[in-house]
């Protein structure tokens, strides 16, 4: 398969490029990076020097000059809307890592992202790329919206309990910790070393954009608070949901049954840690029921750049194209 990676200079884009370069069914023919056009991949991301010793970044329009089977698009919100229609018209499958095609209702883009959607007619065509919950609908898809990292971790932790009807769909609270790579390569005061080191900071209070995506996926109302912590990558979610009156549930058994056939979900008897999944496409999940308060506690951890972005994109592509969904993806993390 002839592959193009658009936005290959950002953290998520570079991770897509790395995984595509090692995928046995992919041939990367173009990698774009508008501000780094003409620069070698090896000089911008030295970790890829052995995989792409002679590859250089091309300008974005170069993706239309190549005969591609699929384009992985890793651009900031609002940018992929401008190129996806032309890619689809050219017969190119699109796997979009941004938020541009994740929400079904176009009005939500104006509410949560501050601007109207430019291509609302494509929203119904996009398939949400959370494989564990949408495997069947992804088969044969030509436009895949890769979920955000926070919605992935949250939906995999809470989804089985909401689906089973054992928790209420209102009054849910989600707290999450994320490494700084989730903020992308751009700089800000929050990401300066002197402020970030030995610190932890809540942000996006009450209006983080991923809230709408989580609510859409789970069919529930929730209060979400993300926290930035001084690590490069990793994500840890702790979610709380009130149990339905009279509900009796063995949370670990429910998770084990829900994910019995999912190669990238590890149902852990111990609370997952931030580092468990690093370097892999795994998501660790665990849960407890507090009989004293009548609440469910659900937890998850993942690598925000792999299962939360690039690895998930390739997993969804694998499913859509009829490949083994684990093909080319790491099922073990790195330790220590």
Q: Where are the domains of the chain?
A: 2-125, 149-304
Q: Tell me the CATH number of domain 149-304, given options 3.30.420.40, 3.30.200.20, 3.30.360.10, 3.30.450.20.
A: 3.30.360.10
Rg value, the chain, Cα: 19
Q: CA–CA separation, 124 vs 62, rounded Å?
A: 28
User: Residue-wise pLDDT tens for the chain (336 aa)?
Assistant: 999 999 999 999 999 999 999 999 999 999 999 889 999 999 999 999 999 999 999 999 999 999 999 999 999 999 999 999 999 999 999 999 999 999 999 999 999 999 999 999 999 999 999 999 999 999 999 999 999 999 999 999 999 999 999 999 999 999 999 999 877 776 677 788 888 888 999 999 999 999 999 999 999 999 999 999 999 999 999 999 999 998 899 999 999 999 999 999 999 999 999 999 999 999 999 999 999 999 999 999 999 999 999 999 999 999 999 999 999 999 999 998
- From 17, 149, 278, 285, active-site residue: 149
Q: CA–CA separation, 63 vs 66, rounded Å?
A: 6
pTM across the whole model = 0.96
Determine whether 283 is an active site residue: no
Confidence (pLDDT) at 35: 87
Q: Are 329 and 314 in contact (CB under 8 A)?
A: yes
248 token code pair: 């009796």
CATH topology of domain 2-125: Rossmann fold (3.40.50)
Confidence (pLDDT) at 183: 74
203-223: buried (b, 16+ CB within 10 Å) or exposed (e) per residue?
eeeeebbbbbbbbbbbebebe
Confidence (pLDDT) at 227: 97
């Amino acid at each position: 398969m002839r592959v193009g990676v658009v936005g290959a200079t950002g953290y998520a884009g570079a991770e897509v490029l790395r995984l595509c370069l090692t995928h046995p069914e992919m041939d990367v023919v173009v990698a774009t990076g508008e501000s780094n056009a003409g620069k070698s991949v090896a000089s911008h991301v030295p970790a890829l020097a052995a995989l792409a010793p002679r590859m250089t970044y091309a300008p974005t329009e170069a993706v239309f000059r190549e005969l591609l089977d699929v384009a992985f698009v890793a651009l900031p919100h609002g940018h992929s809307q401008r190129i996806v229609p032309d890619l689809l018209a050219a017969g190119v499958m699109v796997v979009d890592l941004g938020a541009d095609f994740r929400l079904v209702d176009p009005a939500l883009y104006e509410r949560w992202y501050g601007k109207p959607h430019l291509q609302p007619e494509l929203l119904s065509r996009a398939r949400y790329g959370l494989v564990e919950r949408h495997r069947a609908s992804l088969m044969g898809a030509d436009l895949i919206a890769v979920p955000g990292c926070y919605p992935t971790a949250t939906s995999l932790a809470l989804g089985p309990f909401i689906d089973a009807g054992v928790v209420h769909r209102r009054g849910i609270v989600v707290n999450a910790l994320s490494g700084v790579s989730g903020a992308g390569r751009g700089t800000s005061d929050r990401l300066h070393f002197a402020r970030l080191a030995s610190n932890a900071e809540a942000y996006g209070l009450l209006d983080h954009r991923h809230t709408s995506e989580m609510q859409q996926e789970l069919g529930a109302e929730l209060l979400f608070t993300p926290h930035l912590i001084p690590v490069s990558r990793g994500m840890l979610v702790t979610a709380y949901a009130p149990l339905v009156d009279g509900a009796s549930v063995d949370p670990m058994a429910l998770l084990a049954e829900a994910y019995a056939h999912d190669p990238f979900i590890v149902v852990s008897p111990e609370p997952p840690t931030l580092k468990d999944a690093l370097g892999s496409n795994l998501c660790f999940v665990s849960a407890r029921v507090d009989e004293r308060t009548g609440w469910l506690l659900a937890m998850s951890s993942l690598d925000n750049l792999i299962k939360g972005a690039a690895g998930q994109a390739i997993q969804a592509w694998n499913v859509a194209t009829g490949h083994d969904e684990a093909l080319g993806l790491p099922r073990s993390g790195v330790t220590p």
